[in-house]
């Protein structure tokens, strides 16, 4: 595969032709925060946490492919504030009370908040009261914590080869729905990759709460992005 060069925050980076900016940056040891992008899934481009400026225009790094000579800005005060604002709004839009959530320490939204230095809400909480689906024997779905990233939808289809989830409604009314009357009606298994792919505490296995004590979880050990930063020897 041919390669192209582009510039990321002043650093020349060689990337594979057709690679996204997010993947090319990661390969070069530069972490670009992201939420809806996940491993090798077809990118969704919905959360905009990965926003960068490409030749002066705001683009989503997870969907935008590199072009030769492109000038990409990621860690500028403007872009950092843009991302921080999105994370702040996600916290206000759902019920994310980390101290009471089993995902705490493994939650990517919480970890991003720490990375961005968010310690208190900037916006008023909307305090939604959405349906919680406890019908399945092994998995529950708390829509009040769902950030509509679509990972479960895509992983269920592309990796688990099932079609358990879909979105319904638009705008403020958009919700994650299951293809059946409730989770118990679906062929979801607690071991499905879709369950593990949820970045927050919305889709969770039952009866394993606190099996790993708080303080010994993924982001207790290392901040989000530290694995990518470490490739370049940088700090998190
Ligand atoms: Fe994303 Fe989790 Fe909501 Fe699925 S349940 S859309 S993975 S936040
Ligand atoms: Fe790129 Fe969500 S990670 S838009």
Predicted pLDDT of residue 233: 55
Tell me if 101 CB under 6 Å of ligand 2. Answer: no
Residue-wise pLDDT for 139-163, tens only, equals 999 999 999 999 999 999 999 999 9
Q: Which of 42, 44, 197 for a ligand 2 pocket mutation test, highest count of atoms within 8 Å of Cβ?
A: 44
* 187 CB neighbour count, 10 Å cutoff: 12
Task: Find, among 1, 35, 40, 48, the residue nearest to 23 by Cα.
Answer: 40
pTM > 0.75: yes or no: yes
Q: What was the pLDDT predicted at 144? A: 98
Q: Ligand 1 atom 7: the closest Cα is on which residue?
A: 198
Given ligand 2 and candidates 24, 31, 62, 74, which is best to mutate, with the most ligand atoms within 8 Å of its CB?
A: 62
Task: Name the stretches of the chain with pLDDT < 50.
Answer: 234-236
What is the number of the ligand closest to the CA of 41?
A: 2
Q: Which domains does the chain have, with CATH numbers?
A: 3-75 (3.10.20.740), 85-205 (3.30.70.20)
Q: Is the CB of 188 under 6 A from ligand 1?
A: no
**Nearest atom within ligand 1 for CA of residue 145:** 8
Structure-token pair, residue 173:
């009314």
Q: What is the pLDDT of residue 1?
A: 73
pLDDT of residue 172: 85
Distances (CA, A) of 125 to 97, 111, 122: 11, 19, 9
Query: What does DSSP assign to residue 65?
Result: B
Q: What is the model's pLDDT at position 235?
A: 40
pLDDT at 236: 37
Q: Which of 198, 199, 201 to mutate to test the pocket of ligand 1 (most atoms within 8 A of CB)?
A: 198
Burial class of residue 226, CB neighbours in 10 A (0-12, 13-18, 19+):
middle
Q: Establish whether residue 148 lines the binding site of ligand 2, counting it when its CB lies within 6 angstroms of any ligand atom.
A: no
- To 10 degrees, what angle do helices 108-115 and 77-93 make? 140
């Amino acid at each position: 595969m041919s390669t192209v060069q582009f510039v990321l925050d002043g650093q020349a980076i060689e990337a594979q032709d057709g690679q996204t900016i997010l993947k090319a940056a990661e390969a070069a040891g530069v972490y670009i925060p992201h939420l809806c992008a996940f491993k090798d899934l077809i990118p969704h481009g919905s959360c905009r946490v990965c926003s960068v400026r490409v030749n002066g225009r705001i683009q989503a790094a997870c969907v935008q492919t590199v072009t030769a000579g492109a000038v990409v800005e990621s860690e500028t005060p403007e872009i950092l504030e843009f991302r921080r604002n999105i994370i702040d709004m996600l916290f206000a839009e759902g019920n994310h009370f980390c101290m009471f959530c089993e995902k705490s320490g493994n939650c990517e939204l919480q970890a991003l908040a720490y990375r961005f230095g968010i310690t208190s809400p900037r916006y008023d909480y909307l305090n939604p009261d959405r349906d919680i689906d406890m019908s399945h024997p092994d998995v529950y779905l708390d829509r009040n914590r769902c950030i509509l990233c679509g990972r479960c939808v895509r992983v269920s289809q592309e990796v688990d080869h099932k079609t358990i989830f879909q979105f319904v409604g638009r705008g403020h009314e958009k919700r994650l729905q299951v293809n059946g009357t409730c989770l118990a009606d679906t062929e979801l298994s607690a071991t499905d990759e879709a369950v593990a792919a949820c970045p927050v505490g919305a889709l969770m296995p039952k009866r394993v709460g606190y099996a790993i004590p708080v303080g010994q979880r993924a982001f207790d050990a290392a901040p989000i992005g530290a694995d990518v930063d470490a490739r370049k020897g940088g700090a998190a």
